[in-house]
Amino acid sequence: GQNIDQPTEMTATEGAIVQINCTYQTSGFNGLFWYQQHAGEAPTFLSYNVLDGLEEKGRFSSFLSRSKGYSYLLLKELQMKDSASYLCAVISGGSARQLTFGSGTQLTVLP
């Protein structure tokens, strides 16, 4: 079966750094996504990892370890607008390109 775990909630302070962890057990692996979703809005793409290591994009970085079934999203220089739900999703491949999502981590950035 497919199982993706991430913390339900996190709180951090403006200007700080926060790391959101994700662990997964899936049948098949073709990559891991992080999406950001503000309340009432569509999920928006943040990052995609298919090989082990760190991918950096501005204030956001994402890390993957396939052998450990583990990823994290690192947010630096937090801003108030970063308050959102962060969704970890694994793509299991095949012709259907099925994305399996975690429940999301609700991040609250405090002033």
Partner 1 sequence: ETGVTQTPRHLVMGMTNKKSLKCEQHLGHNAMYWYKQSAKKPLELMFVYNFKEQTENNSVPSRFSPECPNSSHLFLHLHTLQPEDSALYLCASSFRDSNEQFFGPGTRLTVL
Report the residue from 102, 105, 107, 109 that binds partner 1 according to the rule CB under 8 A.
102
Bridge-partner residues for 18, per DSSP? 75
Give me the 65-94 binding string for partner 1, x by CB under 8 A, dash otherwise: ----------------------x-x-x---
Which stretches of 1-111 are assigned E, i.e. beta strand? 3-5, 9-13, 18-25, 32-37, 44-49, 53-57, 60-65, 70-75, 84-91, 99-101, 105-110
| Residue 31 lies near partner 1 (rule: CB under 8 A) | yes
Distance CA 21, CA 51 (A): 17
Distance CA 19, CA 7 (A): 11
| Residue 48 lies near partner 1 (rule: CB under 8 A) | yes
Total interface residues for partner 1 by CB under 8 A = 26
Q: Which is nearer to partner 1, 8 or 67 (CB)?
A: 8
Residues that bind partner 1 (CB under 8 A): 4, 30-31, 33, 35, 40-45, 48, 50, 87, 89, 91, 95-104
